[in-house]
Each structure stands twice: as structure tokens, then as C-alpha cells.
Amino acid sequence: MPVSPSPTFDLSAQHQFRQQLVAGLTQARNQGCLFLSISRDLPPIDPLLALAGLSDCGMDPQADYFYLEQPGTGMAIAALGALRTYTAEGCQRFQDVRHFCQTTFAQIFCLDGGHPRIFCHFTFHDRPTGHQGTSASRAILPQWQIHQRDQQVQLTLNCDVLLEPGEIDRLCGQWQRIWEHLQTLPPTFDIESVMVPTISLPNLTVQHQGFVRGVHTALKVLQTGEMEKLVLACAADITAPRPFSWEATLQNLRHHYPNCYLFSVRCDGGSTFVGASPERLVSLEQGVLTADALAGSSPRGGDRHQDQALTTALYHSEKDRHEHQVIVQFLSHTLKNLGLLIPPPGEPQVLKLANIQHLQTLIRATPHPAVHLLDILAALHPTPAVAGYPRAIAYEWMRQLETFERGMYAAPLGWVDCNGEGEFIVGIRSALLQGTMARLYAGAGIVRGSDPEREWQEVLLKLQALVSAIA
């Protein structure tokens, strides 16, 4: 992917930007590229506020968007508009998306430090049964992108190189409006203006009964030795008197779950997939690959002493340590089979969230240059943390016992950049919003020794946290 030197110019001067854009388009065409990418540094801003307000800059309010943030680290990335989109289904969907990404990046000319990213979200099953908003896995090269890391913020524009003069004028005007919008962002998000009134979980008797029956069936299979673990999930549908707001939901989640990955993605049909996931699936940054083993759970205590007692009990729980070790062994074995070098994992730590805590082990590895990040993703999904182990057997039992379509729930979503680096999380602790309707998802890992009612209480705990976030 060709890269030009980095000239400087005043971002707020539209005529200078137009000159730069025209020159970049000419260079890109001369290089035989199809797309141009331009990036500029911005003063510190709130990417969530920026994304929420971009519709005021002449953007299509129904345009594709992608948002991912980890508040505790200061990382946030927002993308709006689809310059190029690819959809994939079937067992080769990860490899197909990898080919799309590699082909697309090879056709981009980067001007002045341009750093384009392609944003991807996958469905849990390779061929979903068609629940609205979850029809296919997608990869998107956005038109606009804002990236924040360590208080450094960058705005990126991606565009076609074959632009007519009128399209160039329109794009320059849009750039200017975006710049002015970013200069006048309010200091905080006005949650009260868009939040729906307080609502509660509906009667979940049917879900409760079905889930407990499923756990009893799973325990019988586990006793035979056919499986070591099965993850069962359930879905709860709620209705509000006015439409749900993904922006306000993220603001709520940002406040309550600073240690989680906050995400929001526009899906097919105008629905929005949103949540706060504690689990990174895999990331590749500066030559270091990291995968999260997250399994084994306990509620938080009402006071410091009770909380510490629950933490200690979780750490020494034979059942939870076994469930956690299954994930550690799966990740380590899978990455080694891909040719990655992995030092021995250490002892698990306890990841404390607002209402729940988990055993967590970070698996570090040295990646193999010939193995793409999306190849690693294909090998890891679904992990025992969201499906079970052995994977093929657990997958079949999960399909039999769950009565709803998972869609994007517990599936990977994230981004990959022009250097092959990127980050993907697991879409758990999530909800699908569409107007006044919301579908909430939560699950629990079943192993030998699991108690059906205790597992149901864990599911309820996760569902209640989602209700608190969206209302």
C-alpha cells in the first residue's frame, strides 16, 4: 500500500484541504489505487459524542456505524459510513473476510499518515436462521473514522479516487462541517433527554424453566464424559414506551463498566447491537498477540468483607478453576497449532466488574508472520467460554437446547488495520435494540458440579445489568 510524505496544513482551512485532496487523488490514481485515505490529528475529544453528533453534519442518520471503547485504557474508535462493504456466510466466512481486507488494503493510497481500518462483525453461527439484524457477517471500510489512544485523536477520511468535481466539493464541505462539529462538542452527553423510563425484566418463567431443563440435560451428558463443558444462553425481550438510545446506553455502560469493552454496531434492518463485554478474544499490537481466557464467575459482595470472601471462594473453587483451565488449555493448544510461540500461562487473576467477577488469564504469544489475525480468529471461534468443549459436540448440544437464534451474541467483533494488526472482542453482555424493542442476551458455562438454579441466578444477574444500562 503506497504511502506519501506528510505535508502539513491548517485543517480548518477548507481550500487547503481541497488542494491536498485533489493532489492525493491524482497520486492515488497514478499508483493504480482505488481508494485514498487521509488522516489528521485532532485535539482531545470524546469519540462517542463525536459519533453521536455526526448526523448533524449532513451524514445519513441510518448510515452504518461501528463503535468500540475501553474506558479504563483511554482507547476508543468510531467509524461512520460504508465506502466498501463485504458480507460473508458459511464456514469460510473468516477466510473470505481476510481476503476482502487484504485486497482492499492493497488498493488504498495513504496520504499524510493515513491509517485506514476495516471493521468486522460476525454472527455466532456460520449460517444464521434469519433473526432480524443478524443475517450475515460483515466487513466495512468506513468513509469516516475517529481513533483515540492515550489522549491522541486522529480523524481519517477514506474515499474513492474517481471523484467528480462536484463530489470533491461535497466531500470538502462535509470535512469542514465535521471539523467545526468536533470543535463545538458539549462537555458531557445529555442522557436524560434520550433515556427511556425505568423498566424491569418481564416474567421469565418460560426462559427459567427451559434453561433449567437444559442444564439438567447438559449435566447428564457431562457425566458420560462426552463433554467437559457446555455454555447455555437465553434471550429476554422487553418493550419500552419510547425508542431505546444506543448512545445513552453506551454512556451508562461507560460509567458502570470502565474495565469492559463497550461496543455498538448498526445491523441489517436498522437494529443496533450494543453491550459491555469483559472479554477480548484476541488482539495483535506491536508484534504481541494477546488472547483472554475468561471463565469462572461469582457475584460481587454487598460490602468489602463479603466481596473479599466471594473473591477468595471463586479463586479456590474447584468447579470454577476447572472451567477456567479448560479455556486456558484450549487457547494455548490452538495458538500453538498455528505456529505461535507461547510462554507458560501464569496463575489466573480475578477481574472485578460492577456486579460480577471472573477468573481471567491473559495468554501472550509471538505471532507467525504468515498467519493473519483473521486466521487466528477463525481457529479460536467459538471458544469453550461461549460454546463449550469439545467444541463440535458442545456446539451440537447447544443448538438442540437453545430455543433462540444467537445472531451476533457471543460472536467476534472488532477491526483490522493496514498493517495486519487489530483487536476483536466477544459480543457478550449484549442487547439488540430496534425502536421500542430490545432483546437481551446472557449465558452461563455448565460443567460437572454446576447447580441449575445457581447458573440461572448468574444469567439473571447479567440480564438485570443490561436492563439497568438501557433504561
Each residue's pLDDT tens digit, 166-175: 899 888 888 8
Residue whose C-alpha cell reads 497520486 in the numeric block: 27
Classify residue 353: in a domain, yes or no: yes
Last residue of a domain, one of 188, 213, 246: 188
Block residue for cell numbers 485535539: 43
**Contact status, residue 68 vs residue 262, Cβ threshold 8 Å:** yes
8 occurs within a structural domain? no
- pLDDT of 20 > 60? The answer is yes
Residues 133 and 233 in one domain: no
* Residue finishing a domain among 188, 217, 241: 188
Confidence at residue 194, expressed as pLDDT on a 0 to 100 scale? 62
Higher pLDDT: 256 or 220? It is 220
In a domain, 382, yes or no: yes
Say which DSSP state 130 is in.
-
Q: Which of 364, 367, 296 is nearest to 331 (CA)?
A: 364
The pLDDT, as a whole number, for residue 178 is: 84
How many Å apart are CA 116 and CA 49, to the nearest integer?
A: 21
Beta bridge partners of 29: none
Q: Same domain for 226 and 91?
A: no
Domain assignment present for residue 365? The answer is yes
In this structure, the answer to whether residues 98 and 245 fall within a common structural domain is no
The answer to whether residues 241 and 140 belong to one domain is no
Whether the per-residue pLDDT at 133 is higher than 50: the answer is: no
Q: Which positions are catalytic?
A: 229, 279
Helix, strand or coil for residue 92? coil
Tell me how far apart the alpha carbons of residues 323 and 447 are, in angstroms, rounded to a whole number: 7
In this structure, the answer to whether residues 225 and 332 fall within a common structural domain is yes
Is the predicted pLDDT of residue 400 greater than 90, yes or no? yes
Backbone angles phi, psi at 439, to 5 degrees: -110, 120
The residue-averaged pLDDT of 363-390 equals 93
> Would 225 be classed as within a structural domain?
yes
The whole-number average pLDDT for the span 381-397 is 93
**Top-confidence residue, 40 or 86:** 86
**Of 189-193, 354-358, 461-465, which range is least confident?**
189-193
Let me know if residue 5 belongs to a domain: no
Give, rounded to a whole angstrom, the gap between the first and last alpha carbons of the chain: 45
Residue 404 sits in the same domain as residue 462: yes
Name the band, by pLDDT with cuts 50, 70 and 90, for residue 128: low
Of residues 196 and 89, the one with the higher pLDDT is 89
Q: How confident is residue 92, by pLDDT bands cut at 50, 70 and 90?
A: very high
Whether the CB-CB separation of 197 and 209 falls below 8 Å is answered with: no
Separation between Cα atoms, residue 29 and residue 21, nearest integer Å: 12
Q: What is the CATH number of the domain that holds 393?
A: 3.60.120.10
38: nearest Cα among 181, 138, 178: 178
Q: What are phi and psi of 347, to 5 degrees?
A: -70, 150
- What is the rounded average pLDDT for all residues in the chain? 89
Residue 50 is predicted with a pLDDT of 87
pLDDT of residue 192: 64
405 and 348 within one domain: yes
Same domain, 280 and 367: yes
| pLDDT band, very low/low/confident/very high, at 195 (cuts 50, 70, 90) | low
Evaluate whether 322 touches 242 at the Cβ level (below 8 Å): no
Q: Is the pLDDT of residue 187 over 60?
A: yes
Which are the contacts of 257, defined by CB distance < 8 A and separation ≥ 6?
71, 276, 278, 353, 354
pLDDT digits (tens, 9 = 90+) for 357-375: 999 999 999 988 889 999 9
The predicted structure's pLDDT at residue 200: 82
The 3-state DSSP class for residue 280 equals strand
Residue 270 neighbours by CB under 8 Å, 6+ apart = 62, 133, 434
State residue 334's pLDDT score.
95
In a domain, 327, yes or no: yes
Distances, alpha carbon 226 to alpha carbons 229, 233, 447, in Å: 9, 20, 12
* Pair 319, 450: CB distance under 8 Å: yes
Using the 3D structure, point to which of 188, 218, 235 is the last residue of a domain: 188
Q: How confident is the model at residue 135 (pLDDT cuts 50, 70, 90)?
A: low
Q: Flag whether 3 is in a domain.
A: no
* Whether residue 200 sits in one domain with residue 102: no
Q: How confident is the model at residue 14 (pLDDT cuts 50, 70, 90)?
A: low
Distances (CA, A) of 271 to 132, 201, 431: 8, 20, 10
Domain count, the chain: 2
Mind listing the pLDDT tens digit for each residue in 249-301?
Answer: 998 898 888 889 999 999 877 899 999 999 999 999 988 999 999 988 999 99
State the burial class of residue 5 (Cβ atoms within 10 Å of its Cβ: 0-12, 13-18, 19+): exposed
Same domain flag for 113 and 23: yes
Same domain, 208 and 169: no
137 and 230 co-located in one domain: no
Cell 432483546 found at:
439
| Residue 177: band (very low, low, confident or very high) from pLDDT cuts 50, 70, 90 | confident
Range of the domain at 118: 14-188
Between 191 and 79, the more confident residue is 79
pTM of the model: 0.92
Alpha helices per DSSP H over 262-390:
304-316, 318-337, 373-380
pLDDT reported for residue 160: 95
